């Protein structure tokens, strides 16, 4: 079975948790895109839901699929967010941000009662860090911010190359919020909560891709079927 089919299976399983009248956070990325498309089918069949998209790309997908949208200015609390992840560990700590939407994704997840993480089972890892950690930064003072990030990595017992993300056009990638992303190639992150705390207090860091304590359930699709893991 190809990877795209597995992603759609995970999205379909998460859709079973959606109830009429729910306020939903709509994630970003290839797996979340499947969820939005499947949700659109339910909406066209009469399901009443409203969604908050985590990126301009997801907003466009939701409009195309007929999913009604709102904002966190109109409603300040969501019942459920469904989103993908770049890595998931056994404590359901996540690395997110490969698609560049980590700031809005974290705001939406934090405003939700529950977050279901949908992925193919290749995203499941024993220790986070094989996937580069995205850190969203303000361009001003970038050198000082990266020096502070390097110190934070040292305190957390990790190290690695920091690369400013480029877009497909070769120019610096700019997030929906107008920021840049530094991808930190750390290898293994032994204590994700500690690193998350150290990065969060750096003034030039807008947000980082460590999602700690936000994922409630992971739905993982693999060759052997669907596996559902709840946060311990």
pLDDT at position 232 is: 78
3-class SS at 160? coil
Query: Whose CA is closest to 7, among 32, 25, 26?
Result: 32
Count of other CB atoms within 10 angstroms of residue 27: 32
Quick check: is 207 catalytic?
no
Q: Report how far residue 192's alpha carbon sits from residue 146's, in angstroms, rounded to the nearest whole number.
A: 19
Residue 77 has what DSSP assignment? -
Count of alpha carbons within 13 angstroms of residue 185, beta-carbon side: 5
Q: Which position among 87, 105, 136, 207 bears the catalytic label? A: 105
pLDDT at position 219 is: 97
Q: Report how far residue 37's alpha carbon sits from residue 57's, in angstroms, rounded to the nearest whole number.
A: 13
Q: Report how far residue 195's alpha carbon sits from residue 213's, in angstroms, rounded to the nearest whole number.
A: 14
pLDDT at position 1 is: 66
Q: Supply the Cα-derived Rg of the chain in whole angstroms.
A: 17
Range 128-162 burial, b when 16+ CB lie within 10 A, else e? bbebbbbbbbeeeeeeebbebbeebbeebebebeb
Mean pLDDT of the chain, nearest integer: 97
pLDDT in tens, 123-153: 999 999 999 999 999 999 999 999 999 999 9
pLDDT in tens, 206-223: 999 999 999 999 999 999
């Amino acid at each position: 079975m190809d990877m795209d089919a597995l992603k759609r299976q995970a999205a379909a399983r998460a859709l079973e948790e959606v109830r009429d009248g729910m306020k939903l956070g709509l994630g970003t990325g290839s797996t979340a895109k499947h969820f939005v498309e499947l949700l659109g089918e339910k909406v066209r069949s009469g399901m009443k839901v409203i969604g908050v998209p985590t990126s301009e790309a997801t907003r466009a997908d939701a409009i195309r699929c007929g999913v009604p949208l709102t904002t966190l200015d109109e409603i300040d609390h969501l019942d459920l967010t469904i989103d993908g992840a770049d890595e998931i560990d056994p404590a359901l700590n996540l690395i997110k941000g490969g698609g560049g939407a980590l700031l809005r994704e974290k705001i939406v997840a934090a405003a939700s009662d529950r977050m279901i993480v949908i992925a193919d089972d290749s995203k499941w890892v024993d220790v986070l860090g094989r996937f580069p950690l995205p850190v969203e930064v303000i361009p001003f003072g970038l050198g000082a911010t990266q020096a502070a990030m390097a110190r934070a990595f040292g305190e957390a017992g990790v190290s690695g190359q920091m690369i400013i993300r480029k877009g497909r056009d070769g120019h610096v990638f700019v997030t929906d919020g107008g920021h840049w992303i530094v991808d930190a190639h750390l290898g293994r992150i032994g204590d994700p909560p500690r690193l998350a705390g150290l990065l969060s207090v750096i003034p030039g860091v807008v947000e980082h891709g460590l999602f700690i304590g936000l994922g409630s359930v992971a739905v993982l699709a693999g060759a052997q079927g669907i596996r559902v893991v709840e946060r311990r």
